[in-house]
Chains A and B, each alone.
Chain A
Amino acid sequence: MFADQFINAIGTGVMLGSIYAALALGLAVTFGLLHIPNIAHPAFVIAGAYVVAMGNSYGLDPLLVALLALAPFYVAGLGFYEFYARVFERRGSADTMNALTLFFGVSLVLETLLLMRFGTNQQSVSVGYVGQSLTIGLLSLPYRLLVPALLAPVMVAALWLYLRHTHTGIAVRAVAHDERALSVSGIDPRWIKRHAFGIAAATAVVAGAALIIIGPVDPFGGRLQIGRAFAVVVLAGMGSIPGTIAAGILIGVSEALVSAFASPSWAPAVAFSILLATLALRPQGLFGARR
């Protein structure tokens, strides 16, 4: 009985944690790499979930919709960065507080738009595998968690390879450290930041698909995720892309264990407790470079 509960808590925790990583990945790019605290990212994820639900209402598979929406979300991210840059960076007033205010405003606008267009009703998708589980011995893995959980490793691997091995990827890793170094290298730092924002936004629609496969989503669903997404990015170590998976899983498993053996109402405190404990020992996070 205990073993059963324990193993399944771990299984659920790993899957949830992987999904947290998918949710946080875009933030790992904008905040971790570019140092722009884009708290609107979870709202983007919710918008992505709505787009996936709309596509699904025409009978399309959620993952297919996410794939088709990658390019439009990328373009929306470009526009979003351009807006941010025009409001602040040109005037040289891009401090964190201003940026947070702007992104908070953007979240509210996104939520309101969704609310006006779709109402307060929750949106959901219907896919064949929801309701079924993969059973391995004592361990039971519901597909509605397992499928979304597999998205994070795929996205993380793709993004990591991209950042390591392409010219633009190298530039994205460089831009937060020294914009002038990029200019001197003949690369437009602003173009690179805009591109990175586009990538971050594109991850949001995949994360949105993950979220809505797990369960119904409402316009305000992003709010719950903001704190956890920041916790994942900072715990991973600013700028560490693979670290988001480890950090997500660490949080996910801890939450699942706390929920199973203490009380589910304590679970929300878990992410920050782990974050604070880790930062006390390793200020640079799990995988961040010392600075």
Chain B
Amino acid sequence: MNRLVIENLNAGYGSVAVLHDVCMEVRESEFVALLGTNGNGKSTLLNTILGFVRPQGGRILLDWDGQTIDLARLQPHEIVNAGVALVPEGRRLVPNLTVEENLILAGSCPRAKDQISRNLDFCYTTFPLLKERRAQQASTMSGGQQQLLAIARALMTSPRIMLIDEPSVGLAPIVVGQVFEAVRELQTTQKLTILMAEQSFFQAVDLASRAYVLSHGHIIRAIDRAVEQIDPEDLRAAMMGLEHS
């Protein structure tokens, strides 16, 4: 089965431990929600998967097409080229490049460069707004547009798995709705595999087939819709730390 597996992951910054014994898994075509309020380690987890934060223990394995790749040994750009894309917190577009240049930059990575024109067409069909604004500087777009561009940029790398870090941050509620709608659309029509960190919780849970709740760097809930019903209230209580786990 194609999947990303995280086993007993410990990670942090220098002597500050943030993630403790995190175990989770994301299977092909799944939408997994990673829930937790501010400061509980969601970004640290995604950044560790992408190689920006070095694991201090445990394993991060990409099991795909009969191959197992140990991501912990790779550098960030190599991890992207192994098929794990990140839509980072704060989007991290290149501000002085145009929309199209941002897309082409990602599309020219070794993994995707043979499909670059097909990927670009796909992004422009999926997000017509980006096509209209292709010559505009990324920094001059609104927050919501930038978020869509960051998602499109991740698509340009032909990902097997897309990690999305709090796409709702800093966006007006109506725009958050549009961004989630775009993600949902991608997930349902393209069967894209997604791991999304969120605290804007109900929308995320609606989409998810599975959910994990991260609290102080520990996974305190792991819920699989295929096995049990997701009780949003229970999840929300866990996430808010309203009860002990």
Residues of chain A touching chain B, judged by Cβ–Cβ distance below 8 Å, are 167-168, 170-171, 173-174, 177-178, 180-189, 289
User: Mask for B150-193, Cβ within 8 A of A = 1, else 0?
Assistant: 00011011000000000000000000000000000000000000
Residues of B within 8 Å of A178, CB to CB, are 92, 94-95
Residue of B nearest to A183 (CB): B76
Q: Give chain B nearest CB distance to A284 CB in angstroms.
A: 12
- Do the beta carbons of A184 and B101 come within 8 Å of each other? no
Complex alpha-carbon distance, A201 and B238, angstroms: 58
Complex alpha-carbon distance, A181 and B97, angstroms: 11
- Do the beta carbons of B96 and A182 come within 8 Å of each other? no
Is residue B80 contacting chain A, with contact meaning CB distance below 8 A? yes
- Do the beta carbons of A185 and B97 come within 8 Å of each other? no
Residue of A nearest to B98 (CB): A170
Residues of B within 8 Å of A170, CB to CB, are 97, 101, 104-105, 108
- Do the beta carbons of A184 and B92 come within 8 Å of each other? yes
Residues of A within 8 Å of B153, CB to CB, are 184-185
- Do the beta carbons of B75 and A188 come within 8 Å of each other? yes
Q: Which of B77, B93, B154 contacts A183 (CB 8 A)?
A: B77
- Do the beta carbons of B106 and A186 come within 8 Å of each other? yes
- Do the beta carbons of A181 and B80 come within 8 Å of each other? no
Residues of A within 8 Å of B52, CB to CB, are 180, 183
Q: Give chain B nearest CB distance to A112 CB in angstroms.
A: 37
Residue of B nearest to A167 (CB): B108
Residues of chain B touching chain A, judged by Cβ–Cβ distance below 8 Å, are 50-52, 75-78, 80-81, 85-86, 88, 92-97, 101, 104-106, 108-113, 153-154, 156-157
Residue of A nearest to B95 (CB): A177
- Do the beta carbons of A174 and B80 come within 8 Å of each other? no
Chain A facing B: main interface SS = helix
29 A-B pairs with CB atoms under 8 Å apart are A167-B104, A167-B108, A170-B101, A170-B104, A170-B105, A173-B96, A173-B97, A174-B96, A174-B97, A177-B94, A180-B52, A181-B92, A181-B94, A183-B50, A183-B52, A183-B75, A184-B85, A184-B106, A185-B105, A185-B106, A185-B156, A185-B157, A186-B81, A186-B106, A186-B109, A186-B112, A187-B77, A187-B108, A189-B77
Q: Give chain A nearest CB distance to B195 CB in angstroms.
A: 15
Residues of B within 8 Å of A168, CB to CB, are 108
Given A167-B108, A171-B105, decide whether A184 and B96 contact each other with a Cβ distance below 8 A: no
- Do the beta carbons of A174 and B75 come within 8 Å of each other? no
Pairs A-B, 6 closest by C-beta atoms: A186-B109, A167-B108, A186-B80, A183-B76, A185-B106, A174-B94
Residues of A within 8 Å of B97, CB to CB, are 170, 173-174
Q: Give chain B nearest CB distance to A239 CB in angstroms.
A: 8
Residues of A within 8 Å of B95, CB to CB, are 177-178
Residue of B nearest to A189 (CB): B77
Residues of B within 8 Å of A180, CB to CB, are 52, 76, 88, 92
Complex alpha-carbon distance, A174 and B81, angstroms: 19
Q: Give chain A nearest CB distance to B174 CB in angstroms.
A: 27
Complex alpha-carbon distance, A189 and B51, angstroms: 14
- Do the beta carbons of B105 and A182 come within 8 Å of each other? yes
Residues of A within 8 Å of B111, CB to CB, are 186
Residue of A nearest to B154 (CB): A184
Q: Give chain A nearest CB distance to B60 CB in angstroms.
A: 16
Q: Give chain A nearest CB distance to B14 CB in angstroms.
A: 12
Complex alpha-carbon distance, A282 and B51, angstroms: 41
Complex alpha-carbon distance, A180 and B111, angstroms: 18
Residues of B within 8 Å of A188, CB to CB, are 75, 77-78
Complex alpha-carbon distance, A115 and B113, angstroms: 48
